[in-house]
Every structure is written in structure tokens, then in C-alpha cells.
Structure 1
């Protein structure tokens, strides 16, 4: 634990002289021992191996089996279609997987190419890959830290660590600090500097203590490298479904063939029938339908600023019931902003949505002193410098007291730079023919060096009662998570030394600033909670600041719902998992804590989404069921590790994406239940006829044709059904819930039984018109052809009409809107026309062994075909909640 050791101990342990650094020979030896200072990733998979991985799925095996069977029975067109479905699905998977493997590469790009080191007694610039433990690194403002360093020297050093720790402002560093607690959080290790963070102010020197994968950012890379992607709920459902259908199809085939063997039927004909039924029983279009539905959903989501990298992530987002969100930049604006200011007995708010401000004499002096005592700039919406100072300059800009104008009138003649011990900064500026000192810093320090106060434009003695009043208001601001900064001034006749500036000052007042919440987030959080989704804040920021933001946004109700990383460390994994539901805010946490939090929520059976933008968010983005990265402020690492990127960095987009995800899953469920209802109807009609030794109502070619027209366009049309407007009024779906929960399975069985029974009934009517029954022997071929034609039309038309009822499992087709899905209406019309063409065009009728029907029989088959639709609508009406 380098942060728990003194500078001398560290240098002695690493065997290096601070004034000389490592020798070139020693550096070369250490480079051979420790290796290059760059992050390592997994060996890249070839495109071919990625392609083969996509084929390792039970449903794909079944489809490939169906392909072999269709080739065996000479149905080459079907075989080609199935193969195209398999290849298309695999190609889409390869593309998505290839994009997703960019996380480690992005981490590698973040390492700094050049750095300053002391070697052989000289300061040299080398590539960061050549750094080794023991190297002395020179740090100055604007330079990235090339490895993990134990600071040896620091002067006003500030380092921007938000990408690693979540801190919204640069951290003050002090090389002399020592921390004995081995569990000191990364954000509190002020004597350390970490790889890929940015020095923003001051200077320093540090000795390299860790390189490459041993650095804090390297540990993150290891976590990303070790992680194995879990299957999404949709993939699990489809995998289970594929296995079930595969075994069912094999079982039905075998049973039919065995029964036919005992009945001494024509074995070749029964073999073809069994194989055709097996192909029909497996919805080979399902993989393509799911891919198409997800792809169209991705396109729609891109229009609302959500880019999905992995197709199944769309569905996963729809089942999310926990959103773990990073605070800085995601829930907040990631810029410090002055929201209150105080001069004696005069506390005022500074509303974000107002621009025209006026200031009295005291307020004007307060703003002038703050702006002049700052090194930041702000012009035309562009800023440079420390975020705290930028906030002060922006405040002046809003009062039309600009930095540029003040600098022109009041040239800086001297300064006493900020020091973390003094917690003060002073400047000496020209004021007419004299000079004026402006000092800003912690309000208690300002009061300690002040003897007077500016009150109503007059300078009066500063009494103890006045000091108490200043501190009382400042404490109230601090309790509301505001960062308080005081300011004072004094006039002098000539240029004075820096140490003389901070004596006998006149206190003016102070400001309270915060990284404010995004304006639109509060409504989004309320909408999410109404949809049964629990928003959770995870941040590296301090407890009070995080809790205040969480309460303002409606995420938490009290400080009791907040826990820090240090408190998490005191709990075992089991204890933490048991208590996880009590917390809504996790403050001062490390990357490891974030992963632990996500895992604890997942252990409770939740589907967890994690949003974030920093390097520190990458492991939790990877471990969450779905990781959501910020597109504007997000690092390449977070984008690479995520499943979805928000191009507008807007929390509201997540809620819209959840709604889209829920509707997409509902549409896939409609398509699956519809396909299985249809396939069950086919199995029932064939199996019953064989079991009872009746003539078979459908020939193999008829089964395959009918399977083609009902398994394609209608199912895809259901997959793109307009979303249910009430979907966000429901609780999130139980992740363990199957496709057939909430009565969907019963609906599929009822629909399948009706379709199968009506097919047999139509077959019976066709036979009875010619004086035969189902049990008759030696039925003429032309009579069988006529009866099979009626069965053929009923089983196809009933499935097409039944698709209308599948659009919503509870609302009637009239409530949903009969014509609100014109794709489905078109699919039904096309299906009926194709069926009519097959029956009426002579050469097609001959190929499919069908016969043209009379007007009376057309009326009967259409009436039969409407019954499943009507029955399902009646069931909806009877079971619908009042």
C-alpha cells in the first residue's frame, strides 16, 4: 500500500535516487522484468470463430436439422430459406459482437504516448510504454499521468480524476500525506496520482509504483477481460423454446411413424408426412423474425438518441427494474454552478433559468473580487481552467461583470497562489492610482484573516456576532451539499509582498455552488418509478452532496438511504446483498464497489441497468444486464463496455428506451405465441387423424406451403405492431417469466386446438358432401382432394384471421384499432390471395393436389376460419379486468 508509506520509504523500497532517477541500464533491466507500460486485452477472435459461435445454439441446431430434412424430401426452396435465416442471424451476431469487443482497445488508447522522467540525472521525454517502477515522473498542468505514482513533491497540484473516481471537481494533492488505513478509497488518496488522470493545476513529482495491468485503470481492464457475457432473458427464452420444440418435433415424428407402422399404412407416405409436420412444428422463421423485430426497434431507438450495440439489449432494457446511474454528468450537468450568494444579512438565490440580474454595491464588489481572483476564462460559452473558478467567472458574466472587462481595468500586479494548507488564493490588482487585494478561499479561513466587513456599502468592524452569523449561513449551505467559497479585499497604497496580502482584510461574503441536476431528469425519474423501476445513484462524490442531489431528484427520501464505499467494505457479501434494497444512494465508491452493487441487485433477481460515462463505470457497465454509456461526455472505455449509448447524454432517453424495449418484447411474444398456436393446430389435425386411423387431411406439400405463408409475413407484421400506450403503467416483467405466462400459454393451446379441430371439421364436411365420413374405407382420390382442399383453406385462413386477435392479449381488436397495423392487414390479404391463387390456377392446383371450391364451400370455410378469432375475442372480454 504505497499511500501508507512516506516518500523516503517508497524511494528506498524502489531503490531509486530522487535527484538522479534510474540509470538507462537499470530502466532497461526493469523493462524486461515488468514489461511495457500498456494495457493488455484478450486475444482477438477471428471473424470465422465469431461466426461459428453464433451457430452454437439449440434453435440453430434444430433449424439446421430441418434444412437436412427438407433437402431429403426434395423441398429445396424451403431448405434455402432456412439456411438464409441461419446465416443472416449469424452475420448480425458477428457484427454486433465485433463492435462490442472494443472496450480494451479503448482503454489502451487512453494511455499517454509521452511523459517527462528523470533518468541519469537529466529530465527526458520518453513514451509512456517505456516507464518502469522506480522512474521519477515530472508532473505539470495539462499533462496526463502516465502510470500510478506515489507523489514525492507537490506544489498546488490538482488532478482531474472524474473518469476514475466520479469526483466532479479536480482533487487537491499533497505528497506529504500518509494514510494508514489500507481501505482508504481511491478518491481520498491525496498522495497518489493515477494512470490516465489529468493534472489541471500546479506541479509535482512522483515515483512510478505500478505500470500496465497493475495500475488502478489496469485493474479495470482485468475486470473487463475476465467477464463472460451472460445470456439475456430473450436469449434464454428462445434457447429454452428451441430445445422444447426440437424434442417435441422428434417425439411427434417418432410417434406418428410408430402408430402408422402398427396401422400398416403406407410407410413412405407417413415418413414424408411426419417429416413435413416436424418442419411445420418448428417455427424456422422465428430467428429471422426476432432479428428483424430487434433491428427495426434499434432503428426506432436511434431516432430518439439511443444507439444499441447489441440487438438483444433492446429487449433486456424493456425488462429492467433497477437503473443504477452515475451522478456526475448523467444526473447532473457536470459543471459547477453558483446557486446562492450572501453578503451580510442578504442571502439570494441565483436561478439557472434567469439572465437579467442587477447587483447592489456589496454584491458588485463580491462578484468583482471573485472574478479578479480567478485564473479561469469564459467567453462565448467556452471556458478554461478550474471548474470552481469557471463557475465564479460565469456568475460575473451573468451580472454583465465580465472577466475580460475587469482584467482590462484592473491589471494584476501580484499574487499569492492557492495553497492546500492555507486554502486561500490572493491577487493584487490596480485600483485607480492605488492597489486592491482580492482574496478567496474557505469562509472560516477568510474570517480568521479579516478584521472588517462590507455592510451596505460601508466598511465596519467585524464582530464575533457577525462572524457567527456568516458561519451559520455557510453551515446551512454546506448541509444542503453546496460548496461554500468566501471572498474578502483590502486597499493598499503600493505593491506588497504575497505574505502581506492576507492580513487585516474586509470580508464581503460568500457563494454556494453545486454541480446541478439536469432539468429534465426529475420528470424522467418520476415516470420510471411509476413504471415500477427503481432509480439508484452510484457516485464517487461525497455522501452529503450525493444525498442532496438524490433527494432533489426524487431518488431518495432521506440520508438513511445512503451508504458509502467504506461502509460497504464493513459488510460481507451476504449482509450487503440482504440490505441492498434499503439503499438508493451509494457514495464515495470505487469501481470494485460499483460491480459489487450491481451484483448484489442481480443476486436478488433484478434486471439491472447501469448508466455511466467514466473509465470507473466500465466494469459495472459490463457486469450489468445492460450497460448504458453517455455519448457526449462518455469515455471511449465506457462506450466500448456498454450495450447502449445515449447520444444526447439524457437520462430521459433511458425511460423512452425502456418503453421501446417493453413493446419490442411484447411484439416478439405475440409472434411466438401466434406461431406456436398455428403449429399446434397443424400437429393436432395430423396426429388426431393418424391416431384414429382417419385419412390424413393435409399432404406434406400442403403443410410446407401453408407453413410458409403463415410463418412469415403475419408473424413479422405482429413483430412490428405499434406499441401499447399503457405499457409503462405496468410493472417490469419478472425476468424468470416465460413467453407463456399470464395466460399466453393457455391462449396458444386454445387457439391451436380450435385451429386443429376446425381443420378436421372442414375435412369432414368435404367428405360428407360426397357421402363419406372420416371412418370410411376406400375413399376415391378426387373426394379426398376436395375435402383436403377445404381443410387446406381453413387451416391457412384461420391462422391468418387469428393473427388479428394476437395483437393484444387483453384489449379487443377494436380497442387496439382494427386498421392500426396496416402491415398485418396487408399480410392477411396477401396470404388469402396466395391461397386463392393456389386453388384456382390449374397447374398450381395440380402441384398441390387441391381442387377449386364452390361458393357454398367457400362460405363454410371462411366461417370456420373466423371462429378462432371470435372465440379469442370473447375470452378477452370475459377475462378483462373491470
Structure 2
């Protein structure tokens, strides 16, 4: 759209628009008073420009603008400081488990260095323990860093929200400058389609409408004027102000900049984000807790063992100390699931990828589990629960009321009765509704269709109507006020004007020749159009607020017959207006009058000249044109809810998740949408921000517990609601798209931003972004999050029970060494039952692939049929710890029994071992224990898929798990039969009968697990 070089106010609106011409301000060198006008909406325009030291007719000089820019800085929002890549990478090591492993590595390295110095024969032996642990930690860090870097690239930078350029007055000329260069005191020119570059006080406004949904949540564009407000009002009601980041949908204007950058309303909200401390997710808290428990347990066991060794054997040499430290290292290696962090990262990353395929981008991996734990979803209304597309749903005519199907800007729909039944072709309401919509489509400045250009000329040149041929094949892109566009869409539905339908556009019969524009004071718009089907006879077509427009009507068109408008007619129409308003519809009336007709004793002066040019100055005399109008009907318009959201809300409710609507829109509208979606029932109520402000803390807390709809709220209210819910123990997901949502989105446990309509500030604040702006996607993400959480519990049960089994094997081997015969030949000190390298191999072999496979295990039950997990519930609860200990004890028992079979002097000494050297017996026993423990953990992988369900139910549902088991078996065979690995891991080849013993003992873990589950199921049935 072409921009006027210097937008001015239409002469007819000069009085009401209030274009200001202040005396030139001679001293532009004074410091700009940015922010010193406490509330610019309360001072007149001339005072505002004087305070900002600027001549509104000339603007700032270039030198003064440069000085102010250098003094105050660029007009941009301050983004979060950039974190160096090296710090992001090192942050991946910030984990208690990692610290524990690094400590074990340090001890192992020191012991290796001492042993190497004291034993030259060991000089060539590498510190395998240290090398493998460090490699695992590095791989895990790379995985986490890569995934988070990828997510960061998927979201836009915070500074991209501002408009790229703005048109300002500089040195008396209008120039286009980067938005970042706008300074306080600049005179900014506005035209349709512009994004407002800063906060400012309006100096002029001609039919100016600004969409402020991103800031205030108001779904309908706000009509702006320059009148000084009598008292301080909320942002949504400051009609003489414009705000950074909002957009012009109609009209022109100019304003003086009163605030830039972080001093704007958007900047203040962005500043609130800096004070929001990001809390760790429930999963992060739980893993940290488990890490601390493991660390303390390992330290306690290590100290206990060291004390035991000192008392029983004594430390007679440095070698004794080294061996004791190596035993402590073995315990640490056995207790710590080295791959837990990496497995958790991979499993969450796989979940993130699945969510991305379903239109949800998760910025931080740990946020996935939080979604699955959500107990409350706080959602904005406009664009999230609704389509953010104004839609005509009702048409009330003199003969009755009809409904219009279809939603949004797609021109697909038809007229029906209000109960949904079809209308007869000759139903008089059909013709009346079509006429009502036609008037609204012609008296209209909106445009529908991509690439459409407004080619109306300032001299009143003719143009096709808004339904004209150029846009009939375009998509649903809109230009102008969404309410006006909704009338165009409705007219297409009424007349069946579909793209490619080959029908004549009904508005093509009219050519607009003059216009009396809409203003907030007039609350109506009238156009004069030539009716081509009636010899270019002029006709006045008007639309506006029904109660206002009705005052200019003295006749009514009923079934094609025009008769006088009676008091009964007026009462009925006003009652319909009140009824529709109560149902949250925005109402617009339609009226018309053929000009030049005989309307009674009053002469129709406006139509004395038949030539279209005679109407050039009609806008100067609205009182002459807008009289004796004929009432045609009115429409009810609403931003409809998304069709799929109701089912999503119902599914969330069934899953025990409460949906709360928090919006800046009108309470009636909010309550109506909430009832339609099932958020509240018919008895539910909506609270406003004013209601919340007048509550005591106790009343506020009680309201948050029971009320699910909040309207006309400010960003501070949203944050208070979220904080109150969290204080009540709820895990809160907060969705939003506007700047006003950003603080609450960041404060929530899981912030969800809209990817299409969401502002960059909100996307930056959120932990998850919906690429389809669909509330139903949130519920789908919750379902996915719950499945991921279940799988995390599965592999945690598996990993912890396996590692407890390893710890108890080492600890039990030390305590029972005398009974089992575990000792080195001729040594006075104890010998560890399994080497640290063997324990590390077991963890690598059985923790990695099987645990990852369990992370993608198919859901074994309907995860949305149970309530959400409470904030006080632990990921690893008492029951799971019971499972872990039972399986761990069983695993250690079968491992030590298998070793005892091959040790002389043990409880179950194998006679076949007689005649074999003691050193070989130790190697064989360790190989048996090593192999039994590997296979016991693989059997445990099958058992750990459910806490109570039999492993044989759906045993082959997860092919990845069986692949991981096969891989682990193959690698264990390599360690057993490859000579070089025999040396590295202290193993020896096994005979077939020894394999049978290993498998038989290991299988007892699965048998024992099944018996344990049977007991648990029996106990549950008795409850």
C-alpha cells in the first residue's frame, strides 16, 4: 500500500480528530523528557509535544535526533546476555553424578600412577577405567549441547519483534529510518499496515484502528483518537496512545514518541522477565535427589568398607592403601549409572523429535517431562483457544434470525436456521440476510485475498467492491479491520461467491463514489455508491453500532416492503442487540436509502445532482446524507473457538488436568467461549482484573482454587495467578502469544508460546513453541510427556536395580570373602570380587542400549486415564525403591553363588576346579560372576518394563529392546572369547556347561521378579 508522504486528517474529521499544530519549539537542544510525563494520555497533545521539545509540524532536526540517540541508546529491547558456547558446553558437566564419576576417576588415576611407579611391569598398562569414564562423560556433554543448540536455532532472537523501519518527520520532511533509530520526541507517521515503532501520544488520527491483542489481549482493534483522557485508565482503554509492537489495521495518524526501548510498555514487560528465576523441572530435581542419595550411599559404603578392611586386615603398606582405594573406586563405578545422564538426554531428545513431528518444538529437553506432569493448563483465549479470526455467525433481520456456518476467513459456509436445520430456498429471511450482509460488504474498507491492492483514488474514482473479481481467487489473507473482513467473508457465503464459481459478484453492481468514514465518535460508516443495475442511481449504504444507526432510521424493509419503523420495531431490535451482546457477539447494524427518492415533506437535497461528481463533498454533510435510512438488519460477530479445542479440553479434564482461561478480552466474551469449550459449565463465572485487585490475599487464593476464567487482566494478574497455582502445589503450563503473556509464560513450570501468532518476546520466554498455534497440540504434548515419563521410570527402575545389584555384589563379596574364598593367592588383603573395568563394562553394555530402548517403549496403558502426578510425588517413590532393592539383592545373590561354584574353600565349591591354580580359579570365578551379572541385568530389562504387569505380556512389543539385548549378548561374547580383551578385562573363555549355569542363575532374576509382581497384584486386588 502506498504511504501518503505526510498523512493528514480528513477535513470532515478535523474537529474530532484533533490535529495539533503547536508553536515551533525553538530550543531542541534540551534533554528529552522521556519518561517524565507520568501518563501522556492525561495531557493534551500540545503539552506532550512541548514536554518532548519538538515542533509537531517540523519534527526533530537530524542533529538533535542524533544527539538524543547517542544519549538514550537505540530503540530496541534488551535481550538476555549471550552465553559463550564454551560455558554452555561446560554446563553439561554440572551434575552430581558427573562429580561422583570424576572423583572416582581421579582416585583411579592416582592409584594407577602409584602402582605404575611401584611396579615397572605395569608401566605399559593403560588406565582403562579413567579413559572409558571420561569418554562417556564427553559423549554425553556433546549430545546435550548439540540438542540445546539445535533448539536455540529454532527460535527467533528477542530483538526481532520491533518493526524494521518507521516513517518520521525530520527537518520538516517525512523520512524512513530504522526503528532502532527512533528517539523520544520523534513525530512518527502511521498508515494502514504499519507496526508502531515506540510508545507515543497521538497528535492526529483519521479513522485510526490499532490491533493491540499482542499487548492487551483485546481481540478487536481499538479505535484511536486524540482526546485527552479525564482519568488514568488501563492500557486497553488508553485510546489516545499507541504502543510499541502493535499494528495499524485501518486509517492514518501521527504521534509524538514518549518512550523508546525498554521504557515502552513492551520493554517494561520484557524487563519483568529478567526478574523471573528459572526453576529446575521436577525431573531435574528428582535426578539431582537420586544423585545425592547415590553419592551419599556410595561414600557411606566406601567408608564402611575401608574401616572394615582396616580393622580386619589392617593397612600394612602403601599397596594396601592403593588396593583399598581401588575397592572404593569399584564401589563408585558399581553404584553410579554412568550412562544415566546420556540415556536421559537421548530419551528426551527422541521425545522432542516426536513432538516436533506433531507441531511442538521443545527448547529444553527437561521440559518434556514437566508437560507430562502438568496439572493445570493456563491458556490465553485469542488465537489459542479461538481462531483469532472474526466470524459472522448470526444475522437478525426484520423477519427473523438465521445462522451462518463456517469459521474464520475461509469462504465456506451456508445459511441455516438457528437450530441448524436448512433454510428453504424461498425463505424470506434468506433474502433479507443476504441484503444485510451485502450492505456491510460494500460499506467496507477491508480486503480479503493475498496480493490484493486497494486502488481507490483520492478523487473518488470508481473501484470494484470488496468482493470484486481480483480477489476472488486469492487465499484468506486479510487487510484492514478483521471485523470488516468478516462481513466480506459472510457476504461470499451468502451469495455463493466461491473462487472459480463463475458467478457474478453481487457487489459489482455498486461503484463507490463517496464515503463518510467511521470514527469512534460517530460509530458508523456510510458510503454513497452508484447502483449500476438501476441506471447508476445513487444509494447510501451504512453500517455501524445498531443502537446508534437505529437513531437515523425511520423506515424498515420487511420482505421487500418498506414501511415506517414503529416503536415496537425499535424495542424488538434493541432487545435483539442486548441478547446478542449477552451471548458475547459484537453487533453491527445495516441500513440503506436510495438517494433522490421522495421521503415526505423534507426535500432530499443531497440527491439533487444525479451526476456522481455531485457527491464529492458529501462527507462534509453527514447530517444531510445519513437521514431517513431504511433498517435492513444486523449481524452478530465473534472470534469463534477452534473446533478441535473442545475435545482437547475434554481429554485434559478426563486426565485430571484443569484448563484455565486468562485473557485481556471482555468478560462476557471470555465466559461465552469458555462455556462453548467446556472450560466452565453454565454456572461458571469470570473474574476481571479489577475484581482481583480488590481481593484480600486469602480471597485471591480461594478464587484461584475455583475460578477458571479471568478477563480484562494485566500481565501482573497473570503472573499472580500462575504463582498462586504453583504455591498450591500445581504444576502449571501457561500458554500465550502476546507480549502481555510473556512474564507468566516464563514464570510457569512449562511455558508454551504460539509459533504463528506469538510474539518473539513470548517465544524467547517459553520452554515450548507450538508451530500450529493449536491448543489441541498442547494436550497431545501432555500425552507424549506422560508416556516419556513412564518410560523414564522404566529405565530408572532398570538402571538403579542393576546398579544396586552391582554394589551389593562388590559389598557382599568383601564381607563374605572368607566364606566364598575370594582372595588372591598368598595375599593377606581382600580381593575385590569383580574388577572396576568389568563393572564399567557391565554398565556400558547393559545400561546404554537396553535403557535407551526402554525410553521408546510403547505405552502399556492409557496414560490419559489417570490423574496428573502431584508435585510432592517422587519420580522414584518408595514402591520403586522396594523394587530396586528386591531385584538388586536377588541379582547380587545369583552372581555370588555363581562365583562361589568356582572358588575352593567356598560354600558351594565345584570339584571340577580341583587341580586348577588359585589364580586361574579367581579369573574363572570373576568371569562367571561377570557373565551372570550381565545376563541377570538383561533379564531385568524385560522385567522392569512394568512395576506390576507380567514381563510376558507384550514381551515382543518393543523390537528395539530385543535388538539391544542381542547387541549386548554379542559384545559380551567378544569380551569372553577375544584374547586381547581377556587380558584387558581379566576374563577367560567359558565352556558350554558353564554358559548353561550362567543363563540358569541369571534367569532366576526374571523368575523372582514375576513372583514379586504376583504378590503386588494380589495386594492391590485386596485394597
Count of aligned positions = 878
In structure 1, the partner of 2:934 is 796
In structure 2, do the counterparts of structure 1 residues 161 and 768 end up closer, same or farther at CA, with 3 Å as the change threshold?
same
In structure 2, the partner of 1:337 is 391
Shift of 1:530: 0.8
Question: Of 328, 332, 343, which residue of structure 2 is paired with 1:289?
Answer: 343
Which one is further off, 71-80 or 196-205?
A: 71-80
In structure 2, the partner of 1:510 is 634
- 1:709 aligned onto 2:845: yes
After TM superposition, list the pairs within 5 Å mapping 1:129-148 onto structure 2: 129-148=180-199
Q: Say if 1:669 and 1:739, in contact at 8 Å, map to a contact too.
A: yes
Which one is further off, 587-596 or 24-33?
A: 24-33
Shift of 1:552: 0.3
In structure 2, do the counterparts of structure 1 residues 47 and 857 end up closer, same or farther at CA, with 3 Å as the change threshold?
closer
Question: Of 800, 825, 833, which residue of structure 1 is paired with 2:962?
Answer: 825
Shift of 1:723: 2.5
In structure 2, do the counterparts of structure 1 residues 26 and 327 end up closer, same or farther at CA, with 3 Å as the change threshold?
same
- 1:476 aligned onto 2:579: yes
The whole-number CA distance in structure 2 between the counterparts of 1:211 and 1:799 is 63
- 1:396 aligned onto 2:491: yes
Shift of 1:282: 0.9
In structure 2, do the counterparts of structure 1 residues 168 and 727 end up closer, same or farther at CA, with 3 Å as the change threshold?
same
The whole-number CA distance in structure 2 between the counterparts of 1:170 and 1:469 is 29
Q: Say if 1:327 and 1:539, in contact at 8 Å, map to a contact too.
A: yes
Secondary structure at 2:495 match in 1: coil
Which one is further off, 263-272 or 650-659?
A: 263-272
Secondary structure at 1:820 match in 2: coil
Which one is further off, 518-527 or 691-700?
A: 691-700
Secondary structure at 2:901 match in 1: helix
Which one is further off, 454-463 or 34-43?
A: 34-43
In structure 2, do the counterparts of structure 1 residues 372 and 835 end up closer, same or farther at CA, with 3 Å as the change threshold?
closer
Shift of 1:228: 3.2
In structure 1, the partner of 2:302 is 253
Shift of 1:809: 1.3
Secondary structure at 1:517 match in 2: coil
In structure 2, do the counterparts of structure 1 residues 40 and 573 end up closer, same or farther at CA, with 3 Å as the change threshold?
farther
Q: Which runs of 5+ in 1 are unaligned?
A: none
- 1:442 aligned onto 2:545: yes
Q: Say if 2:151 and 2:362, in contact at 8 Å, map to a contact too.
A: no
Q: Say if 1:325 and 1:538, in contact at 8 Å, map to a contact too.
A: yes
In structure 2, the partner of 1:674 is 798
Shift of 1:245: 1.9
In structure 2, the partner of 1:327 is 381
Question: Of 355, 361, 367, which residue of structure 1 is paired with 2:413?
Answer: 355
After TM superposition, list the pairs within 5 Å mapping 1:342-491 onto structure 2: 342-352=396-406, 355-357=413-415, 360-378=430-448, 379=471, 380-382=474-476, 383-400=478-495, 405-431=505-531, 432-433=534-535, 434-491=537-594
Secondary structure at 1:340 match in 2: strand
Q: Say if 1:393 and 1:402, in contact at 8 Å, map to a contact too.
A: no
Secondary structure at 2:642 match in 1: coil
The whole-number CA distance in structure 1 between the counterparts of 2:495 and 2:1003 is 74
Shift of 1:99: 6.4
- 1:48 aligned onto 2:86: yes
Shift of 1:159: 0.6
Shift of 1:11: 3.7
In structure 2, do the counterparts of structure 1 residues 164 and 104 end up closer, same or farther at CA, with 3 Å as the change threshold?
farther
Question: Of 882, 885, 890, which residue of structure 2 is paired with 1:754?
Answer: 890
Q: Which runs of 5+ in 2 are unaligned?
A: 1-38, 113-124, 416-424, 449-470, 499-503, 597-606, 608-613, 823-831
Question: Of 324, 327, 352, which residue of structure 2 is paired with 1:298?
Answer: 352
In structure 2, do the counterparts of structure 1 residues 784 and 428 end up closer, same or farther at CA, with 3 Å as the change threshold?
same
The whole-number CA distance in structure 1 between the counterparts of 2:761 and 2:517 is 35
In structure 2, do the counterparts of structure 1 residues 505 and 745 end up closer, same or farther at CA, with 3 Å as the change threshold?
same
In structure 1, the partner of 2:855 is 719
TM-score scaled to structure 2, two decimals? 0.81
Shift of 1:828: 2.5
In structure 2, the partner of 1:588 is 712
The whole-number CA distance in structure 1 between the counterparts of 2:993 and 2:69 is 91
In structure 1, the partner of 2:874 is 738
TM-score scaled to structure 1, two decimals? 0.93
Q: Say if 2:179 and 2:197, in contact at 8 Å, map to a contact too.
A: yes
Shift of 1:131: 3.1
Shift of 1:808: 1.2
Q: Say if 2:737 and 2:759, in contact at 8 Å, map to a contact too.
A: yes
After TM superposition, list the pairs within 5 Å mapping 1:81-92 onto structure 2: 81-92=132-143
Shift of 1:782: 4.1
Q: Say if 1:681 and 1:751, in contact at 8 Å, map to a contact too.
A: yes
In structure 2, the partner of 1:186 is 235
In structure 2, the partner of 1:199 is 248
The whole-number CA distance in structure 2 between the counterparts of 1:154 and 1:723 is 60
Shift of 1:560: 4.7
The whole-number CA distance in structure 1 between the counterparts of 2:135 and 2:570 is 80
Which one is further off, 74-83 or 822-831?
A: 74-83
The whole-number CA distance in structure 1 between the counterparts of 2:840 and 2:436 is 84
Q: Deviations over 1:459-512 (max 9, x none)?
A: 111111111111112211111101111101111123563412211111011010
Shift of 1:752: 0.7
Secondary structure at 2:681 match in 1: coil
In structure 2, do the counterparts of structure 1 residues 502 and 721 end up closer, same or farther at CA, with 3 Å as the change threshold?
same
The whole-number CA distance in structure 1 between the counterparts of 2:651 and 2:354 is 21
The whole-number CA distance in structure 1 between the counterparts of 2:693 and 2:153 is 31
In structure 2, the partner of 1:664 is 788
In structure 1, the partner of 2:286 is 237
Secondary structure at 1:227 match in 2: coil
Q: Say if 2:689 and 2:710, in contact at 8 Å, map to a contact too.
A: yes
Shift of 1:124: 4.5
Q: CA RMSD in A?
A: 2.9
The whole-number CA distance in structure 1 between the counterparts of 2:183 and 2:966 is 73
Q: Say if 2:405 and 2:414, in contact at 8 Å, map to a contact too.
A: no
Secondary structure at 1:766 match in 2: coil
Q: Deviations over 1:15-65 (max 9, x none)?
A: 444445445555455444433322222332221122233333322222322
- 1:115 aligned onto 2:166: yes
Which one is further off, 867-876 or 21-30?
A: 21-30
In structure 2, do the counterparts of structure 1 residues 844 and 84 end up closer, same or farther at CA, with 3 Å as the change threshold?
closer
The whole-number CA distance in structure 1 between the counterparts of 2:883 and 2:267 is 53
Shift of 1:179: 4.6
The whole-number CA distance in structure 2 between the counterparts of 1:163 and 1:446 is 31
The whole-number CA distance in structure 1 between the counterparts of 2:76 and 2:164 is 10
The whole-number CA distance in structure 2 between the counterparts of 1:699 and 1:302 is 44
Q: Say if 1:150 and 1:192, in contact at 8 Å, map to a contact too.
A: yes
Secondary structure at 2:505 match in 1: helix
In structure 2, do the counterparts of structure 1 residues 691 and 770 end up closer, same or farther at CA, with 3 Å as the change threshold?
closer
Question: Of 150, 154, 157, which residue of structure 1 is paired with 2:208?
Answer: 157
Question: Of 947, 952, 976, which residue of structure 2 is paired with 1:814?
Answer: 952
In structure 2, do the counterparts of structure 1 residues 104 and 25 end up closer, same or farther at CA, with 3 Å as the change threshold?
farther
In structure 1, the partner of 2:328 is 274
The whole-number CA distance in structure 1 between the counterparts of 2:645 and 2:383 is 12
Secondary structure at 2:874 match in 1: coil
Q: Deviations over 1:159-190 (max 9, x none)?
A: 11122122222111121141524xx3211211
Shift of 1:722: 1.7
Secondary structure at 1:814 match in 2: coil
